[in-house]
């Protein structure tokens, strides 16, 4: 969703694979559409962006493949209405997208969507950073890495049914007679409800932490330690210093972080510094050295830093400097 703005809307109806590639690249990121020679294709596409969430409605007839050119730190949710499609994940994994089941796909692993015959679906594309922000707020600690949502969700019952109904409402809003077509804030609220349902009800890597109560308010000494870290993030600090600032011993500090943050104080500090680097990189110009920004926040080993950064944000730090990892307007 490179170069998008909040509230952006787009409609397309056509049959040219190259033209469709350009439209989808503008909306969801770098892709390539291919179709066999001497075959018919009809593709109808309606799109709306609301904050970090983008919604689309697709009706296609014919044979085509949509290949992703690069890793994208997004979550793609397909809600089939009619017909099936084959989703290729990585090099060897396949998933069949069919009515009655949502497909929840990691953009960092998605490689291709293959469609034959008649197919219609609704879809959401969500910035994974938006989900991470919600998790950080609930868990009161930095979170990063892969989300690992369960890849399929029953749309006939429970949260899946609610998500499907909300999606149908949004599809109606996008239609020519939709009363909320020109109300991006309303669409954004509806999209936010879907994000909350996903995080709260669909199993993912951080579900256990949420269910075990890591979201409970941290005790006072852990909060003091976190405040001290934030206030001194740009200078070296030891475990002893942090413990003294919190008014407890090192062992108690470690136990407090393990219980209420699910990590060690040093790992928590490193995650805070990664966030600081990320913020600076998003604001930095081409002439600013990535290494200079990393060292400013205490990273000395550039290879290790680059590995941890990519694990956290899904792209090399140099791409953040060019402003490329967040393709929708994040408001940051």
Domain ranges of the chain: 9-211, 220-321
pLDDT at 332 over 60: no
Both tokens assigned to 326: 């967040």
Neighbour tally for 252: CB within 10 Å:
14
The Cα 197–Cα 304 span in angstroms is 35
State residue 3's pLDDT score.
42
Query: Does the structure show a pLDDT above 60 at 189?
Result: yes
Cβ burial of 282 (10 Å; 0-12, 13-18, 19+) is middle
Say how many C-beta atoms besides its own lie within 10 A of residue 1's C-beta.
22
Average pLDDT of the segment spanning 241-266: 88
**CB contact at 8 A, 49 and 43:** no
The pLDDT score that the predictor gives to residue 133 is 82
CA distance 254 to 250: 6
Look at residue 145 and tell me whether its pLDDT is greater than 90: no
**With contact defined as beta carbons under 8 Å apart, do 54 and 124 qualify?**
yes
Q: What is the DSSP string of 236-256?
A: ---HHHHHHHHTS-HHHHHHH
Assess whether pLDDT exceeds 70 at residue 180: no
Residue 13 backbone dihedrals phi, psi, to 5 degrees: -140, 120
Q: Which residue has the higher pLDDT, 290 or 328?
A: 290
Of the listed ranges 14-23, 118-127, 214-223, 321-330, the least confidently predicted one is 321-330
Average pLDDT, the chain: 84
Q: What is the pLDDT of residue 215?
A: 55
What percentage of residues in the chain have a pLDDT greater than 90? 40
**Whether CATH 3.20.20.120 fits 9-211:** no
Residue 188 backbone dihedrals phi, psi, to 5 degrees: -65, -40
Report the side by side order of strands in the sheet with 85-89. Answer: 31-34, 64-68, 110-115, 85-89, 93-97
Q: Considering just the CA atoms, what is the radius of gyration of the chain in Å?
A: 22
Residue 143's SS3 state is: coil
**pLDDT tops 50 at residue 325:** no
Closest C-alpha to 263, from 130, 131, 136 = 136
**Euclidean distance between CA atoms 229 and 219, whole angstroms:** 16
Mean local confidence (pLDDT), 88-112: 91
In the chain, beta strands by DSSP E: 9-14, 31-34, 41-50, 53-62, 64-68, 74-82, 85-89, 93-97, 101-106, 110-115, 118-127, 152-154
Fold of 220-321: Arc Repressor Mutant, subunit A (1.10.10)
Q: Encoding tokens for residue 135?
A: 């998790």
Residues 305, 12: Cα–Cα separation, whole Å = 42
**Which pair of structure tokens corresponds to residue 316?**
């090399």
pLDDT band at 188; cut points 50, 70, 90: confident
């Amino acid at each position: 969703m490179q170069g998008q703005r909040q509230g952006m809307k787009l409609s397309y109806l056509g049959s040219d694979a190259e033209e469709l590639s350009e439209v989808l690249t503008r909306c969801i990121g770098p892709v390539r559409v291919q179709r066999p020679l001497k075959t018919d294709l009809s593709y109808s596409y309606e799109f709306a962006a609301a904050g970090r969430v983008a919604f689309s409605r697709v009706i296609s007839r014919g044979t085509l493949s949509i290949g992703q050119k690069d890793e994208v730190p997004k979550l793609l949710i397909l809600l089939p209405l009619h017909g099936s499609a084959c989703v290729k994940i990585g090099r060897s994994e396949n998933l069949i997208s069919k009515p009655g089941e949502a497909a929840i796909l990691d953009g960092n692993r998605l490689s291709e969507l293959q469609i034959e015959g008649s197919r219609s679906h609704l879809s959401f594309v969500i910035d994974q950073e938006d989900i991470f922000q919600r998790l950080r707020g609930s868990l009161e600690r930095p979170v990063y890495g892969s989300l690992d949502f369960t890849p399929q969700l029953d749309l006939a019952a429970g949260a899946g049914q609610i998500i499907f109904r909300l999606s149908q409402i949004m599809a109606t809003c996008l239609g020519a007679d939709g009363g909320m077509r020109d109300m991006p804030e309303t669409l954004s609220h509806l999209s936010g409800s879907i994000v909350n349902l996903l995080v709260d009800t669909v199993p993912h890597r951080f579900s256990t932490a949420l269910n075990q109560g890591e979201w409970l308010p941290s005790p006072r000494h852990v909060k003091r330690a976190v405040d001290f870290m934030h206030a001194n993030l740009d200078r070296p600090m030891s475990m002893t210093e942090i413990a003294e600032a919190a008014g407890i011993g090192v062992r108690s500090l470690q136990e407090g972080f393990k219980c209420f943050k699910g990590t060690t104080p040093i790992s928590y500090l490193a995650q805070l510094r990664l966030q600081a680097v990320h913020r600076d990189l998003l604001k930095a110009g081409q002439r600013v050295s990535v290494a200079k920004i990393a060292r400013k926040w205490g990273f000395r080993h550039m290879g290790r830093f680059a590995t941890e950064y990519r694990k956290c944000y899904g792209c090399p730090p140099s791409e953040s400097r060019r402003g490329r990892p967040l393709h929708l307007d994040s408001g940051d």
